[in-house]
Amino acid sequence: MLIIHRLIHIIEMSHSDQKGGFGNLPNHVILIIYSWLDLGDRFTASLTCKKWAAAFQSASLWRHFSFAFRSKAHSKLLKCIEDHANDLKSVRIYIDPQIRVNCDNLCRVVTSLSRADERRLERLGIFFIADNPLMFQGNDILSSLAELFGPPDPSLV
């Protein structure tokens, strides 16, 4: 994160005498900055100006993504994930399953991915960052995964 703060400081200094500052950055530079930010910081940065908001919607930004549900506050970010379900190719989700809302959020993300009109998802990783990952809401999570991947093949069981 220190690298991002330094980069932003350098950009601010180089654009301080120009009208618009961050709004004058080329899209490819904005996308590079976004690529270093987590979802919450991306969302906050998208509020900078219209140009940053437009870059936030870029499909290339959403192809490979990692995000975490560690607290209730992360629920607000679900809309972003749901809006870009068609663009996601590689997703890594980190979850603290001991907080009920985190399990609900995971289920919502997986369900959004399963309902994407033009699903491009190739890789999905779910990482539980607390003990006994399926102790709470395990069946809900498994049901969401079944919706994404389809019912199990009886010949493989």
pLDDT recorded at residue 93: 86
25 CB-side CA count, 13 A: 28
Share of the chain above pLDDT 70, in %: 74
Angle between helices 138-149 and 100-114 (to 10 degrees): 10
CA end-to-end span of the chain, whole Å? 46
How far CA 148 is from CA of 45, 53, 124, 145, in Å, comes to 31, 30, 10, 5
- 152: which DSSP letter? P
Rounded-to-5 percentages of helix, strand, coil across the chain: 55, 10, 35
pLDDT recorded at residue 121: 86
pLDDT recorded at residue 144: 82
Residues of the chain with pLDDT under 70: 1-22, 71-76, 132-138, 151-153, 156-157
Residues 66, 69: Cα–Cα separation, whole Å: 10
pLDDT recorded at residue 154: 72
